[in-house]
Every structure is written in structure tokens, then in C-alpha cells.
């Protein structure tokens, strides 16, 4: 009798897990396309523009060619076929053109090898002399994740590698947010490279972390996140925003004087948010998002599959997200898997995980 009860309960528990997972996949959801203005593809960029950072002068640094270590065979073939290597591109909002320039990357501090470079998240910082510093997440092809620091040399259109950061808290790093020229937060989107995404989703394992590096020491500042993805900081440095992607929410955290993070608001977005960019003037958030988790995961593994692209604008006041607007929605034929976006100079730039990069006019009020 007791055994029947236990088995019956386990069975019911399993059923509700399956139902929950199917529900969150979103097979039953339908959305319509819309654009804020005329949109076009950006020429000359390799495959993918997973994250970018825009400085106040409009210069934007885009990471391209995302790959994790140990990609499956068909993905590796795809990468060879399309010459996907890790690259960083420069886009200038001031030139009114849908073009980018590839930056050359030099330097080899701490064993950095540009041939094994696969960039992911990126964050910029201006040092005291006004030099542009970039922190870039690197899934070094030979093994582990690093955070690489570069200096931008404008005359040579070059990124000079200056320092490499590594720690055991770097499990599967996704994004980084600089807090000075030698300190940063970063997010882990998994605890290892083995668990398949659908398993993580089914078991709803919320054990991912946000880590802070003060230049020498690393400490976990947030835990129990159900896949932490993008991370960004408010212009005044008081708040840190994290895309808790699998929980379909944005976490707003207050930053303590010792750089600890305390959760302040959990804002549900009913979609899967990727990277976050904070508007330099208004403090509002631009988010690249994936409305259907199974579609984006499929598109990442089989890049000829399409997944819709969605850009959200979140209005923020005093560290509270107040309301939302959807700036862009495409079924995936124009751009698949939008992961990052910004509106600058009335233009919307959208990057994708492994697909095209798009620039749109913004003719609507924000």
C-alpha cells in the first residue's frame, strides 16, 4: 500500500515535470512580426555577433564566431565549411553604413593564442587616459574558459591582448561586466559542458552563479540562477542586471560597497532573454531574446534552422523595471537567434548567436 502510494506520487511528480517542460517550450505560442523601421543586413561580418559593446562615441565592438569546446561533429564541419573562427569586428554608428571592419588581434600574454580564440560575452571600459579596454569571454579551443583583456589601438584597427584571467569559478562563462579596468563580474551558464540543455530544462536545475573578480580574488556573489546569461551594470554603477534566461526573468541586483549583489527585483519577461545593454542616456535596458527555447537550441546546433528574433526595451526607474516595449520581432528569416541589441543615434543594431547582424532605422517613439 505504501509502495503504491510512493510509486503513484513519483509518477504524478514526473508527469507534472513533463507537462511543465512542454509548456515552457512554448509550442502553443504564436507571435507576429513587426519592425521599427527599414532593416538591412550588415555586410562583411562572419557568422554570429553574439554580444557587443558600444562606447559613448558610437564605436561598437562585436564578438563573432561563438563556439564552445567540444562541439558536436556536424557543428565542427559547419564551422570549417563556413570558415567560422573567433573574430572581433568594429562597427561605427557615426558612419551611416551597414558595414563592419575586422580587427586584428595581437599579443599572447599568459598563453593567449588568437588561433584558439572563440569569443562570447564582451564588456568595455574607458581607462583614465580615455583608452578603450575590452574584457572578452573566451572559450579557448584547447580546454577551459578565460576572460581576456584587450586594449584598442585605433590607428592600427587593432586589439592588443594585455592580460588573461582564469579561475576555477569559471565553469562555462557566458558574459562579463567590467567595473574598473581590472575588475569585473561574470556569469556562468552551466556547471559543466556535459549536461544537454533539455535535461537542464526538465530538471529545472537552478545552480548557476555570478562571480566577482576584484583583480586578484574571485568570489561567488549570486547563486541558484537557472542559467545566468547576459550581465550589465547601470550607468551609476549601483545596479547589476542579469538575464536569468531559463527562468524567463531579469534579475535586478543592488551592488553593495564590497561588490556583493543582493537581489532587488525579479522581472518576468515571458521569453528567454540573452544579453542586456544599458542605454547610456536613459538607463533603460535593451534585450536580445529568444521566444522559443527549443528553436534557439536547435538553431545553435544546426545553424541552418531558424529561430525567431525579438528585441525588448525595458524602462527602468531607480533600479526598478517599470514597463516594456517590443522593438522588433522577426520569425527568423531576416535574423535568427537575436542575442543582443542597442538603439543608438536612432538606429537599432541587433546581433545574433550564430546568424546575421541587422541594422534598422528606428522611426517609432521609444
Closer residue to other proteins, CB minimum distance, 262 or 364: 364
Region class of 334: left (phi > 0), else alpha (psi between -120 and 50), else beta: alpha
Q: What does R_g of the chain's alpha carbons equal in angstroms?
A: 20
Report, in Å, the least distance between residue 60 CB and other proteins.
Answer: 24
Phi-psi label, residue 270: left if phi above 0, alpha if psi -120 to 50, beta otherwise? left
Rounded to the nearest whole angstrom, what is the least distance from the CB of residue 33 to other proteins in the complex? Answer: 5
User: Residue 128: left if φ>0, alpha if ψ -120 to 50, beta else—which one?
Assistant: alpha
239-298 positions binding other proteins, by CB under 8 A: 270
Separation of alpha carbons 64 and 323, rounded Å: 31
One character per residue 308-327, x = contact with other proteins (rule: CB under 8 A): ----x----------xxxxx
Torsion of CA 122, 127, 131, 137, to 10 degrees: -20
Q: Which is nearer to other proteins, 108 or 282 (CB)?
A: 282
Q: 254 forms bridges with which residues in the sheet?
A: 239, 262
Calpha distance 291→47 (Å, rounded): 21
| Catalytic annotation, pick one of 120, 139, 290, 355 | 120
**φ, ψ (nearest 5 deg) of residue 278:** -95, 130
In angstroms, what is the minimal distance from the CB of 97 to other proteins? 20
Length of the chain: 366
The footprint of other proteins on residues 135-174 (CB under 8 A) is none
> Max Cα separation, the chain?
79
CB of 69 to other proteins, least distance (A): 36
Site size with other proteins, rule: CB under 8 A: 24
Tell me whether residue 175 is annotated as binding: yes
Q: Which is nearer to other proteins, 19 or 262 (CB)?
A: 19
Q: Does 36 bind other proteins (CB under 8 A)?
A: yes
Q: Using CB under 8 A, which of the segments 27-35, 50-58, 100-108, 201-209 binds other proteins?
A: 27-35
Q: How far is the CB of 218 from other proteins (least distance, A)?
A: 37
Task: Please say if 120 is a catalytic residue.
Answer: yes
Which one, 69 or 265, has the nearer CB to other proteins? 265
Q: Is 275 annotated as a binding residue?
A: yes
Give how far the C-alpha of residue 261 lies from the chain's centroid of Cα atoms, to the nearest Å: 19
- Residue 80: other Cβ atoms inside 10 A: 10
User: Does residue 24 touch other proteins according to CB under 8 A?
Assistant: no
Residues with catalytic roles: 120
By CB under 8 A, name the binding residues for other proteins.
Answer: 23, 28-39, 270, 312, 323-327, 329, 363-365
* Positions at the binding site: 50-51, 122, 174-175, 229, 274-275
Amino acid at each position: 500500500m505504501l509502495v503504491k502510494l510512493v510509486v503513484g506520487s513519483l509518477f504524478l511528480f514526473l508527469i507534472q515535470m513533463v507537462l511543465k517542460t512542454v509548456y515552457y517550450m512554448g509550442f502553443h505560442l504564436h507571435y507576429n512580426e513587426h519592425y521599427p523601421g527599414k532593416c538591412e543586413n550588415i555586410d562583411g561580418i562572419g557568422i554570429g555577433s553574439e554580444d557587443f559593446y558600444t562606447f559613448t562615441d558610437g564605436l561598437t565592438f562585436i564578438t563573432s564566431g561563438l563556439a564552445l569546446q567540444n562541439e558536436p561533429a556536424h557543428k565542427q564541419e559547419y564551422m570549417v565549411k563556413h570558415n567560422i573562427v573567433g573574430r572581433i569586428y568594429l562597427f561605427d554608428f557615426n558612419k551611416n553604413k551597414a558595414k563592419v571592419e575586422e580587427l586584428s588581434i595581437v599579443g599572447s600574454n599568459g598563453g593567449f593564442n588568437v588561433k584558439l580564440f572563440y569569443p562570447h560575452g564582451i564588456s568595455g571600459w574607458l581607462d583614465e587616459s580615455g583608452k578603450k579596454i575590452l574584457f572578452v569571454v573566451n572559450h579557448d579551443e584547447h580546454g577551459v574558459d578565460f576572460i581576456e583583456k584587450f586594449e584598442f589601438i585605433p590607428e592600427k584597427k587593432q586589439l592588443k591582448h594585455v592580460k588573461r584571467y582564469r579561475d576555477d569559478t569559471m565553469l562555462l562563462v557566458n558574459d562579463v561586466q567590467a567595473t574598473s579596468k581590472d575588475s569585473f563580474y561574470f556569469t556562468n551558464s552551466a556547471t559543466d559542458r556535459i549536461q544537454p540543455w533539455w535535461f537542464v530544462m526538465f530538471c529545472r536545475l537552478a545552480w548557476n552563479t555570478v562571480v566577482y573578480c576584484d583583480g586578484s580574488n574571485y568570489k561567488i556573489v549570486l547563486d541558484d540562477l537557472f542559467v545566468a546569461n547576459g550581465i550589465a551594470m547601470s550607468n551609476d554603477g549601483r545596479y547589476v542586471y542579469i538575464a536569468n534566461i531559463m527562468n524567463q526573468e531579469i534579475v535586478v541586483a543592488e551592488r553593495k560597497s564590497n561588490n556583493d549583489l543582493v537581489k532587488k527585483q525579479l522581472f518576468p519577461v515571458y521569453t528567454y532573454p540573452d544579453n542586456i545593454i544599458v542605454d547610456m542616456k536613459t538607463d533603460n535596458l535593451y534585450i536580445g531574446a529568444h521566444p522559443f527555447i527549443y528553436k534557439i537550441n536547435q538553431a545553435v546546433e544546426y545553424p541552418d534552422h531558424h529561430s525567431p528574433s525579438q528585441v525588448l526595451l525595458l524602462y527602468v526607474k531607480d533600479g526598478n523595471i517599470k514597463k516594456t516595449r517590443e522593438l522588433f520581432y522577426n520569425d527568423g528569416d531576416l535574423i535568427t537567434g537575436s542575442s543582443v541589441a542597442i538603439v543608438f543615434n536612432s538606429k537599432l543594431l541587433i546581433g545574433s548567436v550564430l546568424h546575421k547582424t541587422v541594422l534598422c532605422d528606428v522611426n517609432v517613439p521609444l
